Structure 1
Amino acid sequence: MTETLFSGFAPVVYEGPQSRNPLAFRWYDRTRIVLGKTMEEHLRLAVAYWHSFVMNGTDPFGAPTIQRPWMGRDGLEAAREKADAAFDLFRVLGVPYYCFHDRDVVSEGATFRESAANLDAIAEILARRQDETGVRLLWGTANLFSHPRYMAGAATNPDPEVFAYAAATVKHCLDVTKRLGGENYVLWGGREGYDTLLNTDIGRELDQMGRFLSLVVEYKHRIGFAGAILIEPKPKEPTKHQYDFDAATVYGFLKRYGLEGEVKLNLEANHAQLAGHSFEHEIATAAALGILGSLDVNRGDALLGWDTDQFPNALGDTALALYYVLKAGGLGSGGLNFDAKLRRQSIDPEDLVHAHVGGIDLCARALLAAGAMIEDGRLAADLRQRYAGWDGPEGRALLGGERTLEQIAADVTARDLDPKPRSGRQEYLENLLSSYT
């Protein structure tokens, strides 16, 4: 591999909590055992190709501020330079995975055929890099939102030719993901929604979206793709209302089209915030519904109402999110992807290293806290105690359909039932949570 922006960086190593080296891990000891597995096995960390190697610092009010050698150039040579830099950063960080959109790794061609050829060509390079380094693909996805053809959506577009073009694009990207050993495939409907109902037929668009996802699932089985198909919920931005609003909304959609056993969720912290939820709410909801798949770990800004995609830095929030992951039995083929970008003024390659070191260390420290919560058991014991009545004979009878409404009313009357309120102990539980972090 040729020299890259990251050639001068030595691999980041674990030095322990006492270290003051800003380019060392203080908490991420990849071989440390937590609840029977190593940190690396639990976290399954991944670098996001798009934010790390494509994002150039532009915003609605200003020109690009981040310049990299491959930026502003199309074609395979620029894509190869970008791939060299990417795998060099993976070397520095020691991460086991990465994620990409098709258009992140190589530019679009003048025709569909040319675009497909471009992706196939760069996939050969990525495959070689994976073989050389041992870094694997956590998931691939297709960009169905940037090009003007998708301004009214991809699957939900009023033009069936756009639907067909998007379907062909996903088919090819899924082929490439399988070829590269990808462990999941993600569908992010960035523009699957609407800006005004005046030009939108919601029922028709939902049926289109359901058929599109069914096509992907059917094809997955035909080609023997063993990974999970994931949907990434997001409530808004760029469209005013997106159909894949949050975990519960997507589950209802999957149930309607008979896909709840086929598709899981890739959940993002910043998207949860935009939906008016906490990250742990989305994780717990998905786990309860049996559709928890993978996570994008980042954060938003409470003072800004859009997707700021910042690297995570809140220990308590991340620890609680990972607690619910551990309670659910882990992420399976999923992992923790840093869907986070540098700030507009952070223009140096070193800034990207610092950002990932901090994010990785935070997740490791949060994992230790979450593991302690599981091992200690006090949170789980308090929760069991709060619902203990439902485990008794009368609670089981009520929930199991053994009582009619008339029988329940008669029993309440006969016993002159007068339930007394019981404390939810929220303050105690919040103090307990703080004691772990």
Structure 2
Amino acid sequence: MTTGFFDGIAPITFEGPDSTNPLAYRHYNPDEIVMGKRMADHLRFAVAYWHSFAWEGGDPFGGQTFERPWYPQDDMGRARQKADVAFEMFDLLNVPYFCWHDADLRPEQGNFADNLSTLEEITDYIGQKMESSKTGLLWGTANMFSDRRWMSGAATNPDPDVFAFAAATVKGCMDATHKLGGQNYVLWGGREGYETLLNTDLGQELDHMGRFLNMVVDYKHKIGFKGTILVEPKPQEPSKHQYDFDAATCIGFLRKYGLENEVKLNLEQGHAILAGHSFEHEIAVAAAEGMLGSIDMNRNDYQSGWDTDQFPNNVPEVALAYYHILKAGGLGTGGTNFDAKLRRQSLDAQDLIAAHVGGMDVCARGFKAAAAMIEDGGLDAALADRYAGWTGAEAQEMLNSDLDSIQARVLSQGINPAPQSGRQEVLENYVNRFV
């Protein structure tokens, strides 16, 4: 029995690039073999519960625009109805995973005991639905940024009672994620930062955040959770300064607190842009340090200075992101989570389906372009050529030498290097052949 919310919408199937059906996959064929593996197993798509079902269509200047049968989201009956609609959409899209915050699933109760009780109740209900569904849980996380209790942070809060509330909340969310067979657990420090240094002990807050994350890792091992612990970088918004600014900042933090072998990164396209980076940059940085975990796929509006969380539509950007992911060996337990939401004027159920269909097609098209570039080998060849000088014995010996010896060699050999072209435009033209 269906909910009726998606009445008139048939299951989405692959119809090929010539299809003009707006509710069909043109590029995403889950069973297509790319580089020896099903496309579905490479991309590992996930629907974000918060944007697709919990978000009401507001923005910083206006409130709710969506009208859904499960609004207002203030009782468990409507929470179960929301889960029913969610799994109906997962089945229509044939998507392998979904993701959630605790606050997306259950209504806020105003106290920890009831929050935990309702989380356990709704995740039991979701677990029953998963038994008859092909959709699994990519990851769970705790919303520790929306309620006013988190206004000064969670793990970094100056009030130890808030730290305790946060720790208890994360334990409950980790238990729920483990119960549902989650592949990962994410910590996004939505308000782990500061507004002014006038009232902030930055060093103490970082130490508390490091200790908190070590507790999370310890608990993962205690309960036998086999998934990956992920942290998600984000600059600025909502705090003036976020401690988890970008991939490099998070990697330095993880190394400082001895977590580099226990925690990986969940990287988001929109957050990369807010940090002044490209998505491929953030992925390449994480991959270089062995800390690439999972991705949140979306885009920002380049004319706006905030996190607009739109569905991806730029194939070249997506292709370069997946190129670095494939070069790093893939996403492992991670996946491609659509941390993306409809525009507040896109009111209909069909809009929700079409947005995911389009996003999955853009990702599939970009992914296939990335795979083709890897198989062609042109970028690898150009890279090898540019760094070829470092393959020589003398260059390698120099890395284990000292300044005195290097200066003597420069003088004795009359080394006077001429600049070599980086051939950027040639390589950009090469990429455009595939996208």
Q: TM-score, normalised by structure 2?
A: 0.99
Matched-pair contact (CA < 8 Å) for 1:141–1:185: yes
Aligned to 1:307: 307
Structure 1, residues 309-338: CA drift from partner, whole Å, max 9, x if none? 000000000000000000000010000000
Partner in structure 1 of residue 68 of structure 2:
68
Q: Is the 8 A contact 1:154 1:162 kept in 2?
A: yes
Q: 2:411 aligned with 1:413, yes or no? A: yes
The answer on 1:84 being equivalent to 2:51 is: no
Question: Deviation string for 1:5-55 (max 9, x for gaps)?
Answer: 124321100000010000000001110010000110000000000000011
SS in 2 for 1:133: coil
Please report the RMSD computed on the Cα atoms of aligned residues, expressed in angstroms.
0.8
- Equivalences for residues 367-378 of structure 1 within 5 A: 367-378=367-378
Name the counterpart of 1:191: 191
Identity over aligned residues, as a percent? 61
How do residues 53-64 of structure 1 correspond to structure 2 at under 5 angstroms?
53-64=53-64
2:294 aligned partner: 294
Residue 215 of structure 1 corresponds to which residue in structure 2? Answer: 215
Task: Tell me the amino acid that sits aligned with residue 311 of structure 2.
Answer: F
Equivalents in 2 of 1:10, 1:91: separation in Å? 10
Q: Which residue of 2 aligns with 1:121?
A: 121
In the alignment of these two chains, the number of paired residues is 435
Partner of 2:244: 244
Query: How does 1:257-272 map onto structure 2 within 5 Å?
Result: 257-272=257-272
Mapping of residues 16-55 of structure 1, within 5 Å: 16-55=16-55
For the pair 1:152 / 2:152, whether they are aligned, the reply is: yes
1:197 positional shift: 0.9
Query: Is the aligned partner of 1:202 residue 2:202?
Result: yes
Q: Which amino acid aligns with 2:406?
A: I
Provide the rounded CA distance (Å) in 1 between the counterparts of 2:174 and 2:156: 20
Deviation sequence 1:116-139 (CA, Å, 0-9, x none): 010101011111111111210000
Tell me if structure 2 keeps the 8 A contact 1:7–1:88.
no
Question: Cα deviations across residues 251-300 of structure 1 (Å, max 9, x unaligned)?
Answer: 00001000000000000000000000000000000000110000000000
1:98 aligns with 98
**Following the alignment from structure 1 to structure 2, what is the Cα–Cα distance between the partners of residues 150 and 173?**
17
TM-superposed CA distance for 1:60, in Å, is: 2.1
Quick one: distance in 1 between partners of 2:3 and 2:172? 31
> For residue 78 of structure 1, what is the amino acid of its counterpart?
R
User: Does the 8 Å contact 1:4/1:84 carry over to 2?
Assistant: no
Q: 1:175 Cα shift?
A: 0.4
- CA-to-aligned-CA distance 1:320-357 (integer Å, 9 cap, x gap): 00000000000100000000000010011111111000
Indicate the residue corresponding to 1:363 in structure 2.
Answer: 363
* Residue identity opposite 1:141 in structure 2: T
In 2, the alpha carbon distance for the partners of 1:398 and 1:336 equals 42
- The letter of the residue matching 1:416 is G
State the alpha-carbon separation in 1 of the partners of residues 44 and 78 from structure 2. 29
Question: What is aligned with 1:425?
Answer: 423
What is the rounded CA distance, in whole Å, between the counterparts of 1:321 and 1:298 in structure 2?
Answer: 12
Displacement of 1:2 in angstroms is 4.4
TM-score, normalisation: structure 1 = 0.98
More deviation, 125-134/260-269 = 125-134
Say whether the 8 Å CA contact 1:57–1:344 is kept in structure 2: yes
**Hey, what's the Cα distance between the residues in 2 that align with 1:240 and 1:68?**
34
CA contact (8 A) 1:26 1:361 kept: yes
1:192 is aligned with what amino acid?
E
Q: Alignment partner of 2:98: what SS?
A: strand
The answer to whether the Cα contact below 8 Å between 1:4 and 1:88 also exists between their aligned partners in 2 is no
CA distance in 2, matches of 1:358, 1:311: 8
Aligned to 2:168: 168
Shift of 1:435: 0.5
Residue aligning to 2:3 = 3
1:303 CA displacement: 1.1
In 2: Cα distance, 1:123 partner to 1:7 partner:
26
Query: Which residue is equivalent to 2:337?
Result: 337
* 2:122 corresponds to 1:138: no
Q: Partner amino acid for 1:424?
A: G
CA deviation vs aligned residue, 1:230-269 (integer Å, no higher than 9, x gap):
0000001111110000000000000100000000000000
**Preserved CA contact (<8 Å) 2:186 2:230:** yes
What amino acid maps onto 1:53 in structure 2? F
Q: Determine the structure 1 residue equivalent to 2:396.
A: 396
- Between stretches 374-383 and 56-65, larger displacement belongs to 56-65
Deviation for aligned residue 1:392 = 1.3
Range with greater deviation from structure 2 (110-119 or 259-268)? 110-119
In the TM superposition, structure 1's runs of 4+ consecutive aligned residues that sit over 4 Å from their partners are none
Contact 2:300 2:309 (8 Å CA) reproduced:
yes
1:275 aligns with 2:284: no
Offset at 1:110?
Answer: 3.4
Paired amino acid for 2:247: A
Distance in 2 separating the partners of 1:271 and 1:337: 14
Asked if structure 1 preserves the Cα contact closer than 8 Å seen for 2:93 and 2:357, the reply is yes
**Equivalents in 1 of 2:4, 2:113: separation in Å?**
31
Gap runs ≥5 in structure 2: none
State the distance in 2 between where 1:71 and 1:233 align.
31
Q: Contact conserved, 1:100 with 1:140, CA < 8 A, in 2?
A: yes
